[in-house]
Homo-oligomer: A and B are copies of this chain.
Amino acid sequence: MDNRPIGVFDSGVGGLTVVRELRRILPQENIVYFGDTGRVPYGTRSRSTITRYTQQDIAFLESRDVKMIVIACGTASSVISKELGAKIKVPYTGVILPAAQAACSLTQKGVIGVIGTTATIRSGAYGKSIRSINSACKVIGRDCPLFVPLVENGLIEPQNPITRLTAQMYLEPLMQEGIDTLILGCTHYPLLYDLINDVIGYSAVLIDPGKETAHFVQNFLTTNNLLREEESPAVCQYFVSDSADQFTATASKFLGADLGGNVQQIEIEAIQGA
């Protein structure tokens, strides 16, 4: 038993899709969320800058006495090396390994597509993770830098012509490679689930790393006897680096529900990363 909260962070609001799933399958758990809304997006920045920001985010969550850290951001997950992971003071998971495991167990032909931010794809982290599980798998990556702004501007209806044209541009080369499994390697992409399925003609199974990661957390806490056992209702606390109001206004789109907790602005730049 461990009554401390689970810590979750993301470069912005996208990680709320992980919170959503955590709240669904672990409704008794307290959650502390940090969204780096003052410095979002991470996916277009250099590896060294992403690493520095990620270390500050982790240090902030550690300061909130969490029992586990969930790196909900695909880009931040992609920079966590063994050395960096060794510095994290509590158990943690990124989104990459849980998604890679799901992809390896679902693919029939061993041809897996991965879409994500430019930094995530450039890192090759998904490919390394998948090949460490099944070295025979072929992994084809493609960055989709316009998907985040399209989602953030609400152009997510499956028939939206702008988003469809963009998805065709990105996904056709993957389909030509014969993928049968597609990892939606950025927290924003599950909001395009129906549109992507339609554009690829249901030719591949779509994997949502956020969902896989929430299930990984559930397994880990259960196996290690770290679930919360207090009977009081669970509490969510949200911290952001830009204005709390702006976060509140867009949060429900990703959370699919009310925040169920307070939002507070902090100065992440002042935090000393490990």
Chain A residues near B (Cβ < 8 Å): 37-39, 44-46, 48-49, 145-146, 148-150, 152-153, 155, 161-162, 165-166, 169, 241-243, 245-246, 269
Contact = CB atoms under 8 A, between A and B. Distances in A.
B162 A45 contact: no
Contact of A146 (B150, B241, B243): B150
Q: Which 5 A-B pairs have the closest CB atoms?
A: A46-B243, A269-B269, A149-B149, A49-B242, A162-B165
A191 to B, nearest CB: 16
A164 to B, nearest CB: 10
A155 B48 CA distance: 27
Contacts of A242: 45-46, 49
Nearest to A247: B46
B243 A48 contact: yes
B162 A246 contact: no
A49 B269 contact: no
Given A49-B243, A162-B165, 14 more contacts: A38-B39, A45-B242, A45-B243, A46-B242, A49-B241, A49-B242, A145-B152, A146-B146, A146-B149, A146-B153, A149-B149, A162-B162, A162-B169, A269-B269
A152 B148 CA distance: 13
A169 B153 CA distance: 13
Contacts of A38: 39, 45, 49
Contacts of A165: 161-162, 165
Contacts of A152: 44, 145
A165 B269 CA distance: 39
Contact of A46 (B149, B150, B245): B245
Nearest to A241: B49
6 contacts: A38-B45, A46-B242, A146-B146, A146-B155, A148-B149, A149-B149
A233 to B, nearest CB: 31
Nearest to A246: B46
A96 to B, nearest CB: 23
A45 B247 CA distance: 10
A46 B246 CA distance: 7
Nearest to A46: B243
Contacts of A48: 243
Contacts of A162: 146, 162, 165-166, 169
Contacts of A146: 146, 149-150, 153, 155, 162
A263 B220 CA distance: 46
A44 B162 CA distance: 21
